[in-house]
Amino acid sequence: MQPTSDRVLVASNNLLPRRPGTSKTILITGSSSGFGRDTAETLHRAGHTVYASMRGVQGKNREAAEALRKLGIKTVELDVSDDASVEAGVESVLAEAGTIDVLVNNAGIGSAGVTEAFTTEQAKVIFDTNVVGLLRVTRAVLPSMRQKRDGLIINIGSILGRVTFPFTGIYGASKFAVEALTDSLRYEVSQLGVEVVEVQPSAYPTNFLTSSQTPDGTEVTESYGEVGHIPDAMFKSLSATFEGTDAPDPHDVAEAIAKLVGQAKGSRAVRTVVGAPFGSDKANEDVAPVQAKVVEALGLSHLEQVA
């Protein structure tokens, strides 16, 4: 039976060399920095053909793209919030490589602050990247995977898709949505040879935290009084923790992704928590049998297994 959860708190710093014939063609979104860039470099070192996609390959992310290319990593212009960009980016990879064996849906936008103070437009932008963007890229890649009846999709979720931190309402809601998409997709494509799994990182010292959106409605935040000051204090404390010697290593996430890529079809955990779980690992364990019973009640238990 396919494992349902796997807790990864500290990953190995040494990937095993790839065996001949096991190299895969991998497309990663949001590869200009953070988890995406580290994952691209890690998988490239492991012997895979990596296509690191991002917005602004010739613009704002030009330096990042050039640095990746110098390492031998291919770069692709791809904006997950734009249908045409996604289609063109995926088509360019398929035209050159002929296949996409693994898709890593990593692109995302963070947010922190009083939920009421976020405008609806801000919420739309976050969901368009974190949820609809993931769906756009998945829809573009799936036809080729279904045709060859083989493929792996790794969605980068968050522990905040299982547990809730106050003042992360918009971001957390988008990651809860990723949970539903991951489960529904994995059932729907399992008999077509495609495996869908998720990595749930905790907080790590990457630029993701510093680039997270804050609410535009400052007057709303101010009206909350002392409560409105909690988000700043909370995240300043978190940033200070990240500057210490005991700060978690973001490379753990890249290693966890690489481990999943290297495992055999059907043996991969559906969910992998990386870093301090804050109870998300327990939530995964508790939900898994309930979800399995739901599928069983629908007479669809066979969809749990990847063909």
Residue type, 56: G
Give the separation between CA 102 and CA 121, rounded to whole angstroms.
32
What six digits make up the tokens of 81? Answer: 């919030």
Closest CA to 103 of 252, 257, 285, 245: 257
Asked if 130 and 108 touch (Cβ cutoff 8 Å), the reply is yes
Residue type, 5: S
* Backbone angles phi and psi of 243, in degrees to 5: -90, -5
Catalytic residues: 171, 175
Q: State which H helix or E strand residue 40 sits in.
A: helix 34-45
CA dihedral of 279, 174, 236, 223, whole degrees rounded to 10:
-110
Name every residue whose Cβ is closer than 8 Å to that of residue 136 and which is 6 or more positions away in sequence. 80, 81, 83, 86
What six digits make up the tokens of 214? Answer: 């804050």
Give the separation between CA 61 and CA 40, rounded to whole angstroms.
15
**Cα separations (Å) of 235 from 214, 256, 273?**
12, 25, 21
Alpha helices in 128-269 (DSSP H): 134-148, 169-189, 207-210, 218-223, 226-242, 251-262
Q: State which H helix or E strand residue 89 sits in.
A: helix 83-97
**Cα separations (Å) of 296 from 2, 71, 108, 119?**
15, 48, 33, 41
* 224 CB neighbour count, 10 Å cutoff: 14
